[in-house]
Amino acid sequence: MNKVFKNAEEAIHDIKDGMVLMLGGFGLCGIPENCIAALVKKGVKNLTCISNNAGVDDFGIGLMLKQRQVKKMISSYVGENAEFERQLLSGELEVELIPQGTLATRCMMAGYGIPAFYTPAGVGTEVAEGKEVRNFNGKDYLMEYAFDADFALVKAWKGDTMGNLIFKDTARNFNPLMAMAGKITVAEVEELVPAGELDPNQIHTPGIYVHRIFQGINYEKRIEQRTVRKRD
Amino acid sequence: MNKVFKNAEEAIHDIKDGMVLMLGGFGLCGIPENCIAALVKKGVKNLTCISNNAGVDDFGIGLMLKQRQVKKMISSYVGENAEFERQLLSGELEVELIPQGTLATRCMMAGYGIPAFYTPAGVGTEVAEGKEVRNFNGKDYLMEYAFDADFALVKAWKGDTMGNLIFKDTARNFNPLMAMAGKITVAEVEELVPAGELDPNQIHTPGIYVHRIFQGINYEKRIEQRTVRKRD
Amino acid sequence: MLTKEQIAQRIARELRDGMYVNLGIGIPTLVANYVPKGMTIILQSENGMLGMGPFPYEGEEDPDLINAGKQTVTILPGGSFFDSAMSFGMIRAGKVDLTVLGAMEVADNGDIANWKIPGKMVKGMGGAMDLVASAKNIIVAMQHTDKAGNSKLLPKCTLPITGLRCVKKIVTDLGVFDVTPHGFKLLERAPGVTVEEIRAKTAGRLVVEGDVVEMSF
Amino acid sequence: MLTKEQIAQRIARELRDGMYVNLGIGIPTLVANYVPKGMTIILQSENGMLGMGPFPYEGEEDPDLINAGKQTVTILPGGSFFDSAMSFGMIRAGKVDLTVLGAMEVADNGDIANWKIPGKMVKGMGGAMDLVASAKNIIVAMQHTDKAGNSKLLPKCTLPITGLRCVKKIVTDLGVFDVTPHGFKLLERAPGVTVEEIRAKTAGRLVVEGDVVEMSF
């Protein structure tokens, strides 16, 4: 049994044109930087990317947009991104916007083997178009489906050789949810440790969900909005 | 803001006859021993108890059955329990058996604000009677509802004054799920610490879900099946 | 007329000890500055945190610790981190006591529009649709009129809807309003603002009963 | 005829390196004793553990660490604990590669009955219905006949069903069978057991093609 890969290139070697990928992270926080760099290098195209955000012009998924590797983005918020805007307006890029909680939950449900569920988010809005509306206890809900992704690419703080993952602070966000949802899940970690070094009570993603893991390098961890206060 | 109660009696003082209670634990592992003792002392009756098991004759929920405080049990496995069997056969006790994963998930969904979901467990069985069957991707699923409980009584290893909880080993089981699901959630803990002592990355149940917390005492932690191996 | 700070200050009077609160971007964020002394308010950030604290000291920014507005922040003692599914789980389950957010339009039945202007760039709804569909108590913080002077308190939203019949209270630069079955009920006037001015700038149904208190700060 | 240990031993031949496996109570539990040397198999216990290890040494039992049969156990390096919802989540999502469980009856279309005998005490299905409805690969370990000598491999289950068309393989004291569209296909015979004896004791459709190998241990 060996889940450990040498680097991002090897861990994503079989990602092909036209595949559906999940990419963890919220904004630029907790994104799989190494995997994104490897995807850019590999140049695979026509990808559908499920990710809460689309990065910024020159970092994160923005790098893949610049190379026009993405056919469709499924996100909740695509923020400020000039190249994204250009491709969207020109029709080069298809975008499906869905509520953030629905996005998160559709990932989780894939990992929990639940094909569909009901949520109130989006009732009465554009998001409800074409969806089943159902009333429970006097309130309307939409039926939403679990996602189906070929690969999930996630970033963790620590991981072990069995694929167990621990996330740090708000860099957790969508990562453990997508880790559960990929047909193949690739995890890049800041620190890869031998099995047995992580406390089994503190593992956020059990190794059963993770197929490939590698020690990431050169994390830039860019900050989008640096806000600070002065010392008194 | 004060969530800390002196003891079990005070924390459950307003549980009334006829209420729906969730009780954490798997077998006798991780059960809220103090809360059960207080319920027995208080003598409330006609309770509906949602709990994976029904305890044994002289411990856990078995103590409440002996006093005939339970009108209905909702469980997945009721094991060996002579008093339970007697009440069931005599018609004194109503029992709804549901698959363990469905039980766990119906708790979680309550805590996640999802009123209904689909699961394959029980399709084609007695469990499916009266339930909606729906096909997704060629497979049949049952629609199941989130639970609705007046109180959830759970047992944690450590907790802080903000209601944050950490569980130990397999004593976690249903506890964090039920903690999310109670209209009022009462947590008893082996060790109550000040806010700030628990690592925010290692909290299993965030305090927002926990309304009352108290330092438990005199844990018996009975073992149902003591299995050991000899040293070589 | 209230300043942005005063709108936030007025909203802070709705806080009660022990509340779990989600504050949106903009004016809502400022509410955190006016929590009464001695009161414990726990801030939820929907990217996965309870117990959000102030911005970090210079040099202590951590790229792994941001709020839903992608700003670097801190966590207070007793806080916790969790994934985005649990975060919206607690929102949907009604565990967050109060949500404060901005809006482009509010209708007099409580409908809100705040995520999209057709024809312009669409940034996405983020967590707004989940929040407004789920929160027990939603207060909108916004200017009473848009830059052209048009009322943002309408009989019906003209922009794409974020959520239906969900807003409970609105605090604008002109006053405080409850959303009632009969429309916007004026509760308080901003200092120096008359009921007539509010009436003139409110396109939706306005309910005025008796004398309306003038706010003081 | 195979002993219980031999049934477990035979099932262990189905294991492959890196498999995640859920073993039921009874004969299935014994499979853990026959994992080939050098092969890594990760055992899942549905109460909330991956990496289940052997029973603890005397005096080291921990009441907080039990398996789904409520027995005191240990956890191996690289294991993890989680709640029951995630535990059944990974089961439903097909992440558990192999489930081995006992049965009262199996039908020749793969239906299984193993949770209830009407009129007798009902203990409940526990996690069995979730497991059989979800697992990619289910092997049943059981005696070929009941105590009265009646076949447990039937054309149709007579007891209340646990799950439909889910069993893939059966190992009994008499042989190994695949569940195929044409019924139970006999793959291997127990040492000294003839095809005729198996045919006589199998009430469901039996498929026998060519020579059937005799198992050796």
Domain span at A94: 8-115+146-215
In a domain, B82, yes or no: yes
Query: What is the model's pTM?
Result: 0.97
Judge whether A58 lies within some domain. yes
A&B contacts, CB < 8 Å: 56
Structure token digits, residue C135: 């929160």
pLDDT grade, residue A86 (50/70/90)? confident
In this complex, do C78 and B113 lie within 8 Å of one another by their Cβ atoms? no
pLDDT value, residue C121: 67
Choose the mutation target among D43, D50, D80, D134 for the interface with A, i.e. most A CBs under 10 Å.
Answer: D80
Residue in chain B closest to D70 (alpha carbons) equals B225
Compute the average pLDDT of residues A150-162.
Answer: 98
Residue B140: CB atoms within 10 A of its CB come to: 15
What does the alpha-carbon distance between residue D66 and residue A161 come to, in Å, rounded to a whole number? 25
- Within 10 angstroms of residue C191's Cβ, the number of other Cβ atoms is 12
Query: Is the pLDDT reported for residue C122 higher than 80?
Result: no
Which residues of chain B register pLDDT less than 50? Answer: none
User: A24 in a domain, yes or no?
Assistant: yes
Q: C4-208 in CATH: which number?
A: 3.40.1080.10
C107 torsion bin: left (phi>0), alpha (psi -120 to 50), beta (else): beta
Q: Is residue B139 part of a domain?
A: no
Residue bearing tokens 């006999």: D186
Q: Do D189 and D173 form a contact (C-beta atoms < 8 A)?
A: no
Cα separation values, A55 from A222, A224, D33, Å: 11, 10, 50
Percentage of chain D modeled with pLDDT above 90 = 94
Distance CA D127, CA B140 (A): 18
The residue with tokens 């989006």 is A122
According to DSSP, the β-strands at C138-141 and C169-171 are parallel
Q: Which residues contact B131 (CB under 8 A, 6 or more apart)?
A: B122, B142, B143, B144
Asked whether residue A120 is assigned to any structural domain, the reply reads no
Nearest to A115 among B113, B115, B136 (CB): B136
pLDDT digits (tens, 9 = 90+) for B50-88: 999 999 999 999 999 999 999 999 999 987 788 888 888
Segment A69-80 shows an average pLDDT of: 92
**In the structure, do chain C and chain D come into contact, i.e. share 3 or more CB pairs under 8 Å?**
no
Assigned domain for B137 exists: no
Give the count of domains, chain A.
1
Q: Per the CB < 8 Å rule, is A121 touching C130?
A: yes
- Ranges of residues in chain D with a pLDDT under 50 are none
Q: Is B89 inside a domain boundary? A: yes
pLDDT value, residue B200: 98
Q: Does A168 touch chain B (CB under 8 A)?
A: yes
The one catalytic residue in C46, C60, C105, C214 is C46
Domain of B208, CATH number, reads 3.40.1080.10
In chain D, what residues touch B120 (CB-CB under 8 Å)? 92, 133-134
> Would you say residue A127 has pLDDT above 90?
yes
**Residue A232: per-residue pLDDT:** 76
Q: Which residues pair with B47 in a beta bridge?
A: B70
Q: Is residue B172 part of a domain?
A: yes
Alpha carbons within 13 angstroms on the beta-carbon side of residue B212 total 21
Put simply, whether D79 touches A (Cβ < 8 Å) is yes
Residues 77..106 of A with a Cβ closer than 8 Å to C: which?
A: 77-80, 85, 97, 99-105
Which residue's structure tokens are 């309408």? C154
**Contact residues on chain A for D50, CB-CB shorter than 8 A:** 206-208
Counting as contact any 3 or more CB pairs under 8 A, the partners of C are A, B
Q: Where are the beta strands (DSSP E) in A7-148?
A: 20-23, 47-50, 70-75, 94-97, 116-119, 133-136, 139-145
